[in-house]
Homo-oligomer: A and B are copies of this chain.
Amino acid sequence: MINCPLPIKDYKEILIAHGGGGKLMNDLIGKLFFPLFSNEYLEKKHDGAVFESGGIKFAFTTDSYIISPLFFPGSDIGELAVYGTVNDLAMCGAKPLFLSAGFIIEEGFSMENLWKVSCSIQNACKKCNVEIITADTKVVEKGKGDGLFINTSGIGIINHKLGISPRSVRQGDKIILSGDIGRHGIAVISSREDLGFETEIVSDCAPLNFIVEKLLDAGIEIHCMRDLTRGGLASALVEIAETSEKELLLYENFISVRDDVRSACEILGFDPMYVANEGRFVVIAKESDAEKIVKIISGFEDGKNASVIGEVVGDKKNRLVVMKNIYGASRIVDMFSGEQLPRIC
């Protein structure tokens, strides 16, 4: 056995933040998992892996869903487990075909809630036009789990020749955001604690595969896509900047945040840039495609607030995300070092 690589020795134990989508998680993946499992697929650091077999390109992805609570305004773990994985396939430019489902259930979990979640999975599958074709059920003793965890893995087929990946990002490209941000995170936290918001903020949880399909059908030359889950818009863009070795410039006033979400964030001390979403994504493509992309995404209910929010400005291995506000002041957008909101997906 190889010795434990030194950097991880700073942490003798796993912290909540190691699963937070921020710096510590990147550290864990980069320093512990990567040296062991590294291969051409993982190195792409994409939402899913793209492989070829018999001349056909497929995407393959996996996610475990550990969200708490299981039911929250606007959605539940069942929908999330389908849409989350479908969206990861879509972000690879793949048309989702099949899902697997692995249930880890805690002894004593209510049969009725298992039924509700399963119905929700069924509906979500129909909505995305995917099928669960293989599954597994495990039960752990009371106190050794937390109600229900679900893993879904997905296979999709890629019917185009684009190389959609952070490494395809080019200087001059535009960054398009598909809608307002921060709703999922706020919906989940408001269901954990009675925060007494005047309006109920519901999760943005939604499938993105049909929007992506339409972009591809329209012949858009997509360079990169990323859905904004754990770590929010900020973490997704920092990851892209680092992998693509580019500098991204964002215009804060074009990033849509609903007033109620912004107020909730202020009360909670959250920055909406880091709050999780489950139905939002960014597209990076060349400037001449930007307007068409916004138009196509805006045509969907889940994309009606789409807009260009920034551009790829530097090609100097800056690996930075910089955000300008309306007064012209700039700040560097970094990855969150800790964990703003655990168990959000």
A→B interface (CB under 8 Å): 1-2, 4, 8-9, 11-20, 25, 28-29, 32-33, 36-37, 39, 41-42, 48-49, 51, 53-56, 58, 60-64, 66, 68, 97-98, 100-112, 114-116, 118-119, 121-122, 125, 131-141, 143-146, 149, 151, 153, 155, 157, 342-343
Known: A11-B111, A109-B13. A18 touches B146 (CB 8 A): no
Partner of A145, one of B63, B114, B118, B146: B146
CA distance A112 to B116 in the complex (A): 39
Partner of A137, one of B25, B48, B54, B104: B25
> Which chain B positions have C-beta within 8 A of A138?
19, 64, 66
Known: A41-B133, A105-B19. A151 touches B62 (CB 8 A): yes
A-B contact pairs, 18 of them (CB 8 A): A12-B110, A12-B111, A18-B137, A19-B140, A28-B137, A32-B111, A32-B118, A33-B135, A37-B121, A41-B131, A49-B98, A49-B133, A62-B101, A64-B104, A102-B151, A140-B149, A145-B145, A145-B146
> Which chain B positions have C-beta within 8 A of A118?
32-33, 36-37
A18 with B110: CB separation less than 8 A? no
> Which chain B positions have C-beta within 8 A of A97?
51, 53
A131 with B15: CB separation less than 8 A? no
> Which chain B positions have C-beta within 8 A of A15?
107, 139
Residue of A107, A110, A342 most packed against chain B (CB within 10 A): A107
Rounded to whole Å, the gap between the CB of A33 and the closest CB of chain B is 6
Rounded to whole Å, the gap between the CB of A87 and the closest CB of chain B is 13
Rounded to whole Å, the gap between the CB of A24 and the closest CB of chain B is 9
> Which chain B positions have C-beta within 8 A of A51?
97-98, 133
CA distance A122 to B33 in the complex (A): 10
CA distance A190 to B103 in the complex (A): 27
> Which chain B positions have C-beta within 8 A of A151?
62, 64, 102, 136, 151, 153
CA distance A16 to B157 in the complex (A): 38
Known: A19-B105, A102-B63, A119-B1. A32 touches B114 (CB 8 A): yes
CA distance A49 to B15 in the complex (A): 36
Rounded to whole Å, the gap between the CB of A288 and the closest CB of chain B is 32
> Which chain B positions have C-beta within 8 A of A116?
1
A37 with B155: CB separation less than 8 A? no
> Which chain B positions have C-beta within 8 A of A29?
135, 137
